[in-house]
Amino acid sequence: MPSSARLCKPLCIGFLITGQFLATTPSEAGVVTLITHGWTEDAKGWVTAMGKSAASHPIRVAEFGPQSPMIYLMSFNPDRSLKVSRIDGESPLQNPSGDIFLLLDWQPYAGDLNPFTDSIQSTQIIGPLVADGLLSPSLIPGLGGPAARLPIHLIGFSRGGSLVCEISKRLGERSVVVDHLTLLDPHPNRNDGFTTLIPSYTFVDGTARDGVYQNVLFAECFYQQVTFPEGTPARGAFLRSLSSWGLNSGGYVLPHEDVHLWYYGTVETGESPLSDGSATLDATLRATWYAPAEAQGRRTGYHNSLRAGGDRRAVSPPVDASSGYPLLGLNQLWAAALDIPAGDNRSRVTVDPGELRANLLEFHLSGLKERPVDTNAPPTSSGVFPTTLEQTDDTTKNLAATLTYLWSGSVDAALTLFCDTDENSLNGRLAEIQVALPPSGELPRSIRLDLSPLQRSLPRGRYRVGALLESPLIAREYYASERVEVIHPIGSEIRLQCGVDTSKDVPAIRLKAEIPTAGTYVMETSTDLVVWTRVSETTVSGPPSAAAVEESIPLGSEGASSRFFRVRLLQ
């Protein structure tokens, strides 16, 4: 559990059990990841390669299988309206991870080296168009709502770094929190001290240096200043300078483009050499581009995304003492709710008072036995799942959650907490409870929730727990990273009764096992509690049920007075 759980202020929360199997309202889950390019580029090549590699990240494949998440090409019609087309992956109902990838192609507005091109536009114009599209319920058919319902991860390279800053700014004006902002060598046109390659291009892009806005939870900036066009560090982000790490020794011709190849190496963590469609990351570059603590790309970059499960609260510099550490990329304006050092590391956004929306920032589980679970991924791309909370037969431990939310409205927001067997509530969800959340004011608020009503409804199995926060203009959905594994459901105790059966010609010990849940059970006997011998095996089709097993042991025979019995469920 993150340290934020220590500062939670408890509220009096009332629960209402609404049913065990409710899944009639369309909704999404997972994470929406938007990846975009810079000047003279489009969404082909490395953008598509990065999207497909992220979609098949080993952490997600290990849990949800090889099904590919939804990958969409996002582009513009001639009238500047947005359009999307699915280019890979399962349909919404067949996608257990719930993840959505948007490969943003903003040509011809991104521009080229032709001084007579008149379609190129400032990122301050294009960014709001994309942000408004993320809030449109009709952008992606079949989702039953806007993409912005999900946690949002924005990744932008070069001018695209400026663009994703402007996307996040517009979302902030409409009071939508961005979970993660990744800037890859951001280089705006005529801003942040940069000029332009084409003197006739007089437009001014949005800032990236001060482009981490107050609605961004976590930000990171990977940049180089080896040669032009160089990138700018972004104030308020976790900064990783790549200038002294050999970017001019391989990969692309320009170190500027090597930055997105470097990040691709943190997404695609398989054996080198790897190609992003335009350049190759070989074993030599793997060994030289990443610091030892970055594990050749497997513990940096994309590792800190929600999908990859890295620790954003880490305080160990991955490179050296001057490089900073991930915790510095969290929103320090929200220090009280996030339990991090306070500071002013975000640029302000003017929120439209008519656009107030409730947001989920973090959602974590606790209360049961904790244990790590391996991903079963190949050793070169291995990771560890976030903690699994194991419910054993210890009934003194109850499932709980810490939820951080932001809601500046004047009425209560509706929170629905539910269980799921995957991370896509569109294809069905299990038992749910409802909670009324009061406004948090202008700053986020953390609360602790008792989830024992959910816990008591779960049979044996492995579950995810989701939170759906609804306000008048939007619903935001978030799945806790921790998993819940029920080994012994509450109320599933096996009752073993022992007595003497005098109806037999030879008096015998008679045992009866009351079995409340379905499964295969074995009865065993022992004289020393060390060596156990199977007496019988019984399969029970469903609760409530009982199985009775007899064993004839002559009373008074040797060892009869020290005979032990047990019944156990086969795993």
Q: Residue 185: which region, alpha, beta or left (left: phi > 0; alpha: psi -120 to 50)?
A: left
Residue 543 has pLDDT above 60, yes or no: no
**Pairing, β 495-501 against β 547-550:** unpaired
Query: Virtual CA dihedral for 192, 198, 201, 207, nearest 10 degrees?
Result: -20
Question: Whole-angstrom Cα distance, residue 349 to residue 360?
Answer: 18
Q: Is 274 helix (H, G, I), strand (E, B) or coil?
A: strand
pLDDT in tens, 292-313: 999 999 899 999 999 888 889 9
Question: Whole-angstrom Cα distance, residue 18 to residue 210?
Answer: 46
Structure tokens at 406: 């932001």
For residues 542 and 247, the model is more confident at 247
Distances 384 to 55, 311, 420, 482, 550 between C-alpha atoms, Å: 18, 11, 21, 11, 47
Q: Is 175 helix (H, G, I), strand (E, B) or coil?
A: coil
Lowest-pLDDT choice from 13-27, 318-332, 513-527:
13-27
pLDDT of residue 233: 96
Question: Whole-angstrom Cα distance, residue 343 to residue 328?
Answer: 10
Average pLDDT, the chain: 82
Residue 265 has pLDDT above 90, yes or no: yes
Tell me the average pLDDT across 96-112.
Answer: 89
pLDDT of residue 422: 82
pLDDT of residue 153: 98
CB 443 within 8 A of CB 337: yes
Residue 191 has pLDDT above 60, yes or no: yes
Residue 257 has pLDDT above 70, yes or no: yes
Give strand ranges (E) for 40-111: 70-76, 82-88, 100-104
Residue 533 has pLDDT above 90, yes or no: no
CB 469 within 8 A of CB 406: no
User: Considering the entire predicted model, what is its pTM?
Assistant: 0.81
Lowest-pLDDT choice from 61-70, 182-191, 199-208:
61-70
CB 267 within 8 A of CB 279: no
